[in-house]
Amino acid sequence: MGKYDCLFEPLQVGSIQLKNRIVLEPMGIHSHRLVNADGSFTEDGIAYYETIAKGGTGLIITSAMPVNSAFDLSKGSKAAMDLAGEEFIENTKKLTERLHRYGAKIFMQLSAGAGRVQPRFIADGEPVAPSDGLPNFWNPSITHRALTREEIERYIRCFGEAARKAKEGGVDGVEIHAVHEGYLLDQFILAFCNKRTDEYGGSLEGRFLFAKKIVEAIKESCGKDYPVSIRYSVRSMMKGFNSGALPGEVFTEVGRDLNEGIAAAKLLEACGYDMLNADNGTYDSWWYAHPPVYMPEGCNLAESVEIKKHVHIPVVCAGRMENPELALKAIQEKQIDGIGLARQLLADPEWPNKLMKEQEEEIRPCIACHAGCLNRIFKGQDLCCALNPAVAREKEYAITPAETKKHIVVVGGGIGGMEAARVCALRGHQVDLYEKSGKLGGMFIPASAMSFKESDKRLIAWYEHQMEKLGVNLHMNTAVDSKMLKELNADEVFVATGSSARTLQLPGFESDRVLTAVDALMNPEKVQGDLVIIGGGLTGIEIAYEYARKGSRVTVLEAMDKYLNVDLAAANRNFLLAAVDLYHIDVQVNAKVSAYANGSVTYTNPDGEHSVKADTVIVSIGYNSENSLAKELGGEHVHVIGDADHVSNLMGAIWQAYEAAVKL
């Protein structure tokens, strides 16, 4: 018996049997490179899903496909199921045939649309919702009109026809998007959003009528044994429009509470749905459906466990379920029936196969950053992964054996340097990595020091393991200069010397109570009492959140007119904004710091001069590239990567290293 055998037991969903309990949750891949004009998948799109099927996932649920071209289409798109013809069906057969080779089943997710959460910046058409006057999530000044009864009936017919086309394309079942995340169907079910007085409003049964008629139409079109899953949020975690609750917060639920969530689950089963694909949240509390690193692992598990007690159909739980021990316990104890993974299968599509072989140390962990996935999707870019640049470009970015084996020297053992070393070693090159300190990880070591960044720590451990496994020659506590490099006689050199924290040269800032962000993160014993953090970027706000949760009084002074003015996914940003409010973090913008004296920081803003008590001052104003070695070298065989080239984020360092190394 293997440790993780229970994850690989079959699961019955309606009339079909999945080979295991692992489900790829749907993620948008609707870019022009991955999806044809009719919404079917291109060769690149098929290869993306095929890689995950090959990695051992039992059920793959595709990204959402609109069923009704009258609403919610992306600008210029004709990709809706009511417009799909024979070419769509034939293209879909190519997808299903490829996935079935690996024993995977495939469900196509069919969408009723977004309603009040429709991103107006990427869509045409009227803003519609269950009721008149609902504010748009992205731009509350836009209000939505109510769908007519006739429009609802058209939607229902479109679902039945869309499922028939999917079935003709060899798709094993469909999933309805969604009584989940505050999308249009969810808005119909939430009394807070649905003020209708016809049969589609009022009681819970009335608010569920739309979802009930959808599954009935599909069963009539495709047969009663054709599986239909529903994407379902148990609780809304919603305090109001554009206002969500954080974990542990005491609040009044205006959306779906747990009691109604249980009643809703029973209704969905009674309607004829064959599986509940569960999580929590709405766009207003987006951090449950798309949990960033600040959310706890298994953040939706307790609610999914509760509804399983009340239904007989399978319950899958999504939301940071990637920790193998967490997944194992949930299935082993029959708390739920399936594990829903999304970003983890981007970071490492081989997650299932590696667990089957009990190779946990080989799994590249998702760090819940959203940088390469959600953030890119909402910019209209290809889905990818900050840690795995080959996602959705598997053939173009494949790691292949090098035609000529070379001697590679990497200077710097941060994440960028280790990624370059890893890819070069996989290609068959001889790699020597030189690190001036005694630890691998570089600036990611302090970045991973906060209590909520356990997955970051696991990433460093994964890289350390890869260095050992791949035979990279490590030279620790070894500084390298240009003279030494010449003596090493390398064919190619990667300069990955990273960056250093910026400081402020102001009166009083020579005090030992003034720390850089790096110093504070590496030496938490130095952080005491009331804190003033200078700099309201991502690191500054994360540190503020870390210490405010522990009860510290925290003030953040930001020189610009906006804090968190960085490229950040909405789920991450909105969580931190909510945390600033919940933990009473005092953020002052347009604040110009002038001195630290007598235990206080002096600053000016448009209202005049102020002082704030500070037992500890943390300077978090960014980083400077450590590029002196790079400037000395130069030449076509020298590759400057990561912060040594320009200060960026983890995704920038990894992608730059990968793209250079995969070509050598």
| Contact in structure between 46 and 104 (CB atoms under 8 Å) | no
CA angle 315-318-323, nearest 5°?
115
Catalytic residue among 4, 48, 49, 183: 183
Q: H-helix or E-strand containing 307?
A: helix 301-308
Distance CA 532, CA 187 (A): 42
Distance CA 556, CA 421 (A): 38
Integer-rounded Cα radius of gyration of the chain: 26
By CB neighbour count within 10 A (0-12 exposed, 13-18 middle, 19+ buried), where does 102 fall?
A: middle
Distance CA 56, CA 272 (A): 29
| Contact in structure between 10 and 104 (CB atoms under 8 Å) | no
Give the DSSP letter string of 1-36.
Answer: --TTGGGGS-EEETTEEESSSEEEPP----STTTB-
The count of residues in the chain is: 664
Distance CA 567, CA 650 (A): 13
Distance CA 327, CA 337 (A): 10
Distance CA 297, CA 453 (A): 11
638 phi, psi to nearest 5 deg: -110, 125
Q: What letter does residue 334 receive in the DSSP assignment?
A: T
327 phi, psi to nearest 5 deg: -60, -45
Which among 620, 610, 614, 594 is positioned nearest to 531, based on CA atoms? Answer: 614
How many C-beta atoms surround the C-beta of residue 15 within 10 A? Answer: 13
Annotated catalytic residue 183: yes
In one-letter notation, the amino acid at residue 247 is: P
| Contact in structure between 618 and 555 (CB atoms under 8 Å) | no
Distance CA 338, CA 11 (A): 8
Burial 361-385 (b: 16+ CB within 10 A, else e): ebbbbbbbbbbbbbbbbbeeebbbb
Distance CA 505, CA 483 (A): 34
Distance CA 247, CA 583 (A): 12
- Bond into 178 cis (ω within 30): yes
| Contact in structure between 360 and 462 (CB atoms under 8 Å) | no
By CB neighbour count within 10 A (0-12 exposed, 13-18 middle, 19+ buried), where does 534 fall?
A: buried
CB contact set of 591 (below 8 Å; sequence gap of 6+):
557, 558, 559, 603, 604, 605
Which among 61, 59, 83 is positioned nearest to 73, based on CA atoms? Answer: 83
- How far CA 18 is from CA of 15, 58, 75, 172, 175, in Å, comes to 10, 6, 37, 10, 15
Distance CA 327, CA 298 (A): 9
Q: H-helix or E-strand containing 655?
A: helix 650-661
Active site residues: 183
